[in-house]
Amino acid sequence: MKYFQLFIFSLFLFSCATKPNIITDKTVIWRLIKNNHCPDDGVCSLEITPNQNLTLEKDGIGVLYPHITEGDKTLLVFEYKRNDIPDTVDGIYRELIYLELNTDNIEVNFEETDLQQVKALFARLCFCRGQTGYYPIKQGTLSIKKLDKNEYSLKMNFKIDEVPQIVNSIDTVFTLN
């Protein structure tokens, strides 16, 4: 009986498998980047996903969140991830900046309320009671200029009044394939 129970337990244990990563026809470009304004205590990255649309939705209690679907735009997601603090639980801290760009014309130059044309969105994700969530970026400037055939300069300065923020500017170069 003991061996039978061990066999059944082993069968359950070894039959579990993780879901395989499925690569679809969309190309996701993800890279660690050199951001002249990335804090020293973390890592910055930029994810570029073509053929995606960003919709800002609200849940049942009115909290804003991003909903990403297949579409005709290019989605840029800048991420700052603070280095883990040793010996802490729930010490994860991330800030994300979402931008939805017109695939036909990546170059933009926006200020203040014009930032809503690219659905500029700031996210603060941490165990920070009452100070986490997604917020539209309403104050700032955004400039994306073509430098070369597939190379672009991204410069952004912004301010969020709703929650504290660490990253308030981005200055980097990225490529589109």
pLDDT tens, position by position, 36-82: 678 999 999 999 999 999 999 999 998 999 999 999 999 999 999 99
pLDDT at position 19: 38
In percent, the amount of the chain with pLDDT more than 90 equals 59
pLDDT at position 91: 84
The overall longest dimension of the chain from CA atoms, in Å, is 73
Residue 131 lies in a domain: yes
For residue 96, list its beta bridge partners. 79, 123
Residue 2 lies in a domain: no
pLDDT at 23 over 60: no
pLDDT at position 8: 53
Calculate mean pLDDT across residues 1-7: 55
Residue 6 lies in a domain: no
Quick: pLDDT tens for 123-132.
Answer: 999 998 889 9
Confidence of residue 117 (pLDDT cuts 50, 70, 90): very high
pLDDT at position 129: 87
- Domain around 155: 22-175
b (16+ CB within 10 A) / e for 157-167: ebebeebebeb
Q: Pull the structure tokens for residue 58.
A: 């609200």
Residue 1 lies in a domain: no
pLDDT at position 121: 96
Overall domain count for the chain: 1
pLDDT at 24 over 80: no
pLDDT at position 158: 96
pLDDT at position 13: 46
Residue 173, judged by CB atoms within 10 A of its CB (0-12, 13-18, 19+), counts as middle
pLDDT at position 143: 96
Residue 57 lies in a domain: yes
Residue 72 lies in a domain: yes
pLDDT at 3 over 90: no
Q: Pull the structure tokens for residue 124.
A: 């603060």
Cα of first residue to Cα of last residue in the chain, in angstroms, is: 61
Residue 154 lies in a domain: yes
Confidence of residue 2 (pLDDT cuts 50, 70, 90): low
Predicted TM-score (pTM) above 0.75: yes
Of 17 and 2, the structure prediction assigns the larger pLDDT to 2
Task: List, in order, residues 6 or more apart from 50 with CB less than 8 Å away.
Answer: 26, 27, 74, 75, 103, 176
State how far the Cα of 68 lies from the Cα of 65, in Å rounded to an integer: 10
Residue 7 lies in a domain: no
